[in-house]
Structure formats: C-alpha cells, structure tokens
Chain A
C-alpha cells in the first residue's frame, strides 16, 4: 500500500494520516471478526461435512495470512507518506508548475490512491494499477490517472468535473483546448463562489476552492504547460487583491481577467498566428504537416480562403489518427491532400514538400519543442532534406523556466498503451536546431523569431504582468 500524491500539495499532508487510519480500520474488523464468526457459526458448524470444514479452515488461514500481510505493509507506507508530507509543504510555493507535480510523483511509489476522507468509489478500488508494471526508473514520467467523479474531492465544481472527465478520456486533448475549457470552468467556479464569513476572497479562494479543482484536474490528466502558466497568472491575480476588496468587485475583476485572457491568449492568438503562418505558404507549394493541430488546420484553411492554391501532405500519427480527420476537412475545403497513415512515407512526401508546418504542445526555455511523438522525426528528416520547418505556438504554451534536451525528462505515458513490456510516450522533444522558426502571436509579417530568441520574447511579454 503506497500513496501517490498529486501536484497540488494540499493532498499530501491530508494523505499522511490516511494510511494509519486505514490500517486501524482494517485491523478492527479483524478483531471483531473472531467472536462474530465463532458465535455465528456455532449453529451451522455441527452440520458441516468434513469436506466443508476443511475448506473453511483453509479459507480462514488464507484470511489470517492476508491480514498479517496488511499489518506488515502499513508502517512503511505511513513513513513514506510522512516524509512526503513534510517535503511538499516546503515545495508548496511552486505549485501549479508541473515540475513540482512530477517530482512528487517521482518520489512516491506506484500504488493505489489513498481513500482520503473516506471516499467510497463504486468500483472496488483494488483494481490493478497500470503504473505498477512500469519500471522504477521511469516513475517520474506522469500518466493520466483518470479518476472517477466519485473519487473527486467534494468541493470540485460540477463544471470542472465534466471538464476533467473530458480530459481524462482525451476528448479534450490538445493543450489549448484543455486550457480554454479549464478557464471557462473556473469562471463557473468563481461565479458560484461565496466567501465564508470572516474570510477574504484573496486569502480563502485559492487554497480552499481553487486548489481542489486543480488537484482534481491533475489527477484526471497531468496538467499541460499552458494550464500551469494560466493558473499561475490567475493565482497571482487573486493575490493582488487587497484583503479588504469587496467580494463582488474581486469576482467581477477575476471573471473579466479570464475573459480577457481567453480572448488575448487563445482567440486572438489563433487568428494572428494563422494569419502570419498562412503567408508562409507558397503558391503552388506543398505543405507537409504531422498529425492534426488546430493552428495548422486554421492556417491552411486561411491560406486557402486567401485564394492560394497549394497541396498538403498529411503524415499521420499512427497512434492517434487525427490526421485522417484533417485530411478529410482539407479535402472538403477543396485542397489537394496527400495522406500517409504513418511515418513510413515521410521521405517521399518530403521530396515534394516546400514547407513543413508543425503544431506544438509547448516550447521549453531552450527553444526545443514539446510536441506529439513523431514530430521530432519529421523535423529532423525535413531539415536533413533542406525543407524549412516552422512551428506554430501560442505564447501561453511557452515554459519560461525549464529546459529539456531529451524526451524522458518531461513527458507523459499513454495510459492506453502501457504494459510490463513497453509503454508509449505521448510526446517527444525536437531540438531547436531542426526548426527554422517559430510563429507566435507576437510576430508580424513573415519575419519570424528563431526558436532561441524565445526567452527574450517571453520577457518582453511577461515583464509587465508579473511583478
């Protein structure tokens, strides 16, 4: 029995006493059992056949063993939880950033969740954990835990519950769609929030209301970089309120903040990026792309709407046939489409390609791309074939602190494809040297920023917002 804590530290201290309680609970029936069974069986025992008696004795022995085992296992688990509780209390400042979350997960042993607050899921929780088969050395790589709504903290808002389930089942998949749904759900949370007597929104809202939501979302699926960023902005916004700010005013201002945020960082960003990127598409050229990404799709459709004539090569992600949908959509828009269901046809497709457009999940501080697995192959093959590779990314997806040069430090395990023999990583890391440029909503015209200049870009953007 071990504990798996989640990104938000609130869960860890609460988790610490849980195993002890649990041990007690399990021990109790054991004690109570003995008199009860002997009393209850007194009547029945006499008529049992010898064979039945034997079977019964066997069952009892098995039960005793199981109990002994449980008792043995409890103390170490509790110790682990204690150590962690202390640790995450310190790390509490950097909550929301994914590194804290993944580090904690790395420390914890794989196992089932503790039943904090006596939550009782409808399914037996002794389901085998798919994680348990993954070797210890990969335990830092998070995987969507996909918790059920019945296992969620009681303060989780219904809208957040639904969004979480959509994320857990990958119905909401890419980073921006998840970010948008999260922010809209948080709007509902804020709308329904009432500060309890004797508290101030600026002190009470984040730890008691917002954090349970974030914790639940993280347990559905590890947060995307964009969500981490946005939540940090949101929290800093709350912290800016004076303790005496009237509740209505604070709520109003938060809702407005989210609206502006969505508008600026998602809606407008999409328009600007697709507009700029569309200009990169050459007349009569062939655009190659990998999988399906919203920005790439918007860009191609916009270029078509601008009256350009060109063809598109879609190389599909073999594990997520999103490219098929893209190919269909583009074909319906009257664009000539070449489609390859996997990376097999990459070289042939690259030969006629004039341009590669890639969608990304995030960009690290050293300029490398965090994108669906397979992107790196496409980028490397393209740069080897001297085809220009352009990545499209909203600035909200940029990570300002972390750098990554490999695919194993920050990644996510595909929960559907993980077994004792192998597991699939959902993302890979593309070094910035394979990318000719990145288009963000800050660039104008065809002159785009090299990936290495992203830090500068970010400072330009974020200095005014972050004090």
Chain B
C-alpha cells in the first residue's frame, strides 16, 4: 500500500522532464501514445526511477512536465500502473504547458510561464530516463554544504553580508567508459577546477572528494563542431589566469541531475537565447564565473543582487547575449594550441579522458597569489556551479552505485539486465537492506511457470502473470507482465516488454521486444528490436534487425483504452501488423 513520505522534506521541489525519446526510434515512433517516460526499465516504467529518486530523499513536491499531446498517456499510467500507484503520497503533479512540444529545449521549458509559476523555491531538474542508485540525500548534502549559501537559505538579511552570497548549483557527471561500454552513448565535455581547499577533512562516505567547480561545459557534439571550425580548442586567458589547474573530461556524461537555486529561473527568463540547460545555462553560467564582464552582459549581476524573495521585473530587458555569440567573444590563446594537441593526441575522433593539458602561463607564483585573491572576489559575486563526478565503476560494479541515463535501446537492454541481477527483497530478507531498485520477487507469479523450465533467478526478472510453458530456458532476461512464453523457447539476454507472446521453439538472443509484440513459432532472432504490437512471422531467422511498421500507428487509442479486451484487440492489431511487416521485408529484399 502506498503510504505518506515519513522523512524530512529538504525544501526543494523537483521537475522531471518527460521528453520525446528520439533516440529510441523503434519504441517511441509515436511518442504521444507511447511516451519514452513509460518504457519499462526492468519492468518498471522509466519515470518511476526519477520519482523514486525524489521520494527516497523526501522530496515530495514533484512536477512532471510533458507535452500536452502525451499528457493523457502519462496521466493514465500514473493512475493505473501498479508501480507508479504504489509510490508514496503526495502524488506528483503533471504539468503539460500548451506551448510545449516534443522538440522544446530544456531551458525553453523553464522559461514557459506555467513552469515559471510552478517553481517557487530551489529546485531539482531531472530527466525521465535517469536511473540513479545514489541517494539524492547525498547529493543534497553536497549541495547544502558546498554550494548553498546560508544567507539564501536562512534569509539572513543583516548588513554584514554585503554583497550577499547567493546559492550555487550542483550537477552530476558519470563516466561512460565502464566495463561493458555501449556503442553510441553520448558524452559531454566538461572542464573543472578544484574547489578552494578546506581545512576540514571531508567526512567518510560523503561525495565531497569528487566535487569540483565547473568552468566549461558543452556536449561533445558542440565541442567537435568548435574543434572543426577553429582547428583547435580556443581557451581564454582569463580562465587560465584564474585557474591554473583545469581538468578536462571528455568521456563523461552529464546525468542531467541539476540542483539549482531559485534565481536560475530569473536567469533563464532574462536570457531568451538560452535553449538547453546542459549546454547553454550551464555553459554560460560557468563562463560567467571567470570571464570578466560576462555576468553583467547576462544580467546575472542584477539577478543576484536582488533578494531571493523579491521577484519582480517580469518583462525585463532581453539580454545582450544575442549580439555576443560565443565565437566572437573567444580569443584564441597561444596555449590553446597546446591544449588542442592534447585533445587531438588522444583523438578528436576518439575522445579519451581525462585530458590534463599541462599549461604554463608564465605567471610568477607571487602573481598567482594576487590572482587567486581576485578570484576570491569573483567567486563571491558569481555563485559556483559544482560538478559531482561520479567515480568510474569499471573496477567493481557492485561497490559504486549506478548512475545512468537510459536513452538508447542498447542502454535500455543493458541497464534492465543489470538491474535484474540485483538480489530481490525476498532473497535479501528485508526491504531496508535490499537495493532501492530490487523487486519483491524475481519471479512474481511462480504459479504461471510450468515445471521442467530453467529460469536463472540470479540474473532474470519475470513479472506478474507471465506464463511459461514446459522445456523453456530463460537466462539473463527481463520479462514484462502478461507475457506468454511458448514451449521449448530459449531466451537469453532478452528484454520483453508487457504482453509479449513468444511462440514455440523460438530462439531469442539479445533481443528487445516491444509491448504486445508476437513472435511466430520457431523464430531465431539475434540482437533484434521489435516494435510494439508487431507480429514476427514464424520461422524468421535474422540478426541485428529492427522490426518496425512503416506507418508507425500501431498503438491506436483503442488499444490503450481497451486494454481489458486483450484477446480481441491483439488479434486485430496483430493481423494488420503482420501485413505491414511483410511489406517491410519484401521492400528490403
């Protein structure tokens, strides 16, 4: 039974952005009917993970933001999906601003009037495809201690704090190069500098040793464009003068977990050129920390000057950023070529990190002293954006908690299988000791499993109401609710979404089967993706193929609405699908 959250709420609200999932072409061909947020990861809808992430830390003021076209599908899921309904109270709000479509940039979302109204305090921004085992409470602790300002939190308006110190933000980056690398995973370029050393040693178990200050952030794609255009990586003098030790990371990825102070809403509102959070908001904010005069141009000085409570000036001036594009402002630094060497040496084609260019600006140490004094002043005006760089889990995947964005089909398969390996609550003995992502049981409905079958329980998950016929073998698989596995089927490293029917003697390896798809008898598929509601012809043998219908309109409203009459609907839908399927194949041949 769902219960109310019984832990302290940290006073932040969370925004979960439910995007279109353009990188799942097979499964989100129709993002309004089948939003990415509802794709199952280890049998739970994707959006359950960020929601659970919030509830675990006591954050109960949660707003899901989705395009109006996808609102109904998500609302239905929130009301009916057993995992979503068993989350604690209070329930998340679903906000579907009318100007939001599937292609709106993340910063543009923050600028929408409804969202501006919704956000009234410091806030978290999460993607819907986040699987984060690390507790948000630890991130919040890091933010509260390293980035938040007590002046802001306590409304300390006494005169001694002039200029008032404002809260900063915190983001999370993780290493993509793990023991099992995934092809085509996006990366982001990040440059950080160490925090000013503190006399206090960081407490054990805290994230402090891995926290640094962001000075440059951009997606790898944008970086590549820049490298191409400039034939090098231009770096400003100001950055190197203020921060002699810059660390550049090229294989990490922005987890899109941001803890932001409330003034970011003003910052985004005032600068209409900001399109995305990861590239623009973070990028410009980080630069404003060291680039002279930039904070004024971005209107940051004015925003930070005003007190946290007084929010006025709604139709304020548009920022001059427009006339001031990043390229114009960048001065090519002589040592820039060195850095370029460092980067191109490790490969612009194959970016490897961490890249640590050795830069000598020729400053005398004494000079540095005064510079760092300047920097101190600068720091006090622009609050820091900090990065928690999640240590790589390549050595031992069990010891470091999992942080991953699941935004490709391959990631979906891999993360699902990885989560399936977690011991269930039943095996561990108590819900408190088990991982937050553990299921109650590995096989939710043992009665549906006929004797003489093999299910490797340590690495498989079989959801509710699944029937498994005799002589089947299920190894390292995640099987969604209401699936039917025919006699003699052999499944290995597969992900089956809800209601999949696998015919007799099918052999499936590393396949992802969309919901209510059907495999004909005797199929042999390897590394295939099958779209929802499709029928794969009996005896199909193929490898590395994506089965999609050409029309992309399989999941009609009727299908979703009349879930109960599974039989009839499925029958009809699948017939059509089958035809489509044939068309596809003949076209290919």
B8 at the interface (CB under 8 A from A): yes
Q: Whose C-beta in chain A lies nearest to the C-beta of B445?
A: A40
* B202 touching A169, Cβ below 8 Å: yes
* A43 touching B451, Cβ below 8 Å: yes
Number of inter-chain CB pairs below 8 Å: 179
Determine the chain B residues whose CB is within 8 A of the CB of A171 once the complex forms: 145-146, 198, 200
Complex Cα distance A123/B6, Å?
16
Determine the chain A residues whose CB is within 8 A of the CB of B436 once the complex forms: 122
Complex Cα distance A26/B432, Å?
10
* A168 touching B203, Cβ below 8 Å: yes
* B446 touching A40, Cβ below 8 Å: yes
* A170 touching B9, Cβ below 8 Å: no
**Complex partner residue of B441 from A25, A36, A150, A168, CB under 8 angstroms:** A36
Which residue, of B135, B138, B154, B203, has the highest number of chain A Cβ atoms within 10 A? B154
**Complex partner residue of A42 from B5, B8, B150, B451, CB under 8 angstroms:** B451
Within 8 A of B (CB), among A1-49: 25-26, 29-30, 33, 36-37, 39-40, 42-44, 46-47
A92 at the interface (CB under 8 A from B): no
Size range of the chain B interface in the assembly: 35 or more
The prevalent SS among residues of A at the interface is helix
Q: Whose C-beta in chain B lies nearest to the C-beta of A316?
A: B199
* A184 touching B56, Cβ below 8 Å: no
The 8 A CB mask of A104-134 against B (1 = contact, 0 = none) is 0000000000010111111111110010000
**Complex partner residue of A39 from B134, B208, B446, CB under 8 angstroms:** B446
A188 at the interface (CB under 8 A from B): yes
- Looking at the assembled complex, report how far the CB atom of A13 sits from the nearest CB atom of chain B, in whole angstroms: 18
* B10 touching A149, Cβ below 8 Å: yes
Determine the chain B residues whose CB is within 8 A of the CB of A115 once the complex forms: 432
B1 at the interface (CB under 8 A from A): no
Determine the chain B residues whose CB is within 8 A of the CB of A185 once the complex forms: 153-154
The 8 A CB mask of B140-171 against A (1 = contact, 0 = none) is 11001110101001111010100000000000
Determine the chain B residues whose CB is within 8 A of the CB of A139 once the complex forms: none
* A120 touching B431, Cβ below 8 Å: yes
- Known interface pairs A42-B451, A43-B446. Does A26 touch B430 (Cβ–Cβ under 8 Å)? yes
Within 8 A of A (CB), among B429-479: 429-433, 436, 441-443, 446-447, 449-455, 457
Determine the chain B residues whose CB is within 8 A of the CB of A457 once the complex forms: none
The prevalent SS among residues of B at the interface is loop
Q: Whose C-beta in chain B lies nearest to the C-beta of A122?
A: B135
- Known interface pairs A120-B432, A154-B7, A171-B200. Does A36 touch B454 (Cβ–Cβ under 8 Å)? no
Q: Whose C-beta in chain B lies nearest to the C-beta of A320?
A: B199
**Complex partner residue of B199 from A66, A159, A161, A322, CB under 8 angstroms:** A322
Complex Cα distance A120/B205, Å?
18
The 8 A CB mask of B6-22 against A (1 = contact, 0 = none) is 11111110000000000
Complex Cα distance A124/B206, Å?
15
Determine the chain A residues whose CB is within 8 A of the CB of B12 once the complex forms: 158
Which residue, of A148, A325, A415, has the highest number of chain B Cβ atoms within 10 A? A148
B268 at the interface (CB under 8 A from A): no
Binding site for B on A (CB under 8 A): 25-26, 29-30, 33, 36-37, 39-40, 42-44, 46-47, 63, 66-67, 115, 117-127, 130, 146, 148-159, 161-163, 165-166, 168-171, 173, 181, 184-185, 187-188, 216, 267, 292, 320-322, 324-325, 332, 415-416
Binding site for A on B (CB under 8 A): 3, 5-12, 56-58, 134-138, 140-141, 144-146, 148, 150, 153-156, 158, 160, 198-206, 208, 373, 426, 429-433, 436, 441-443, 446-447, 449-455, 457
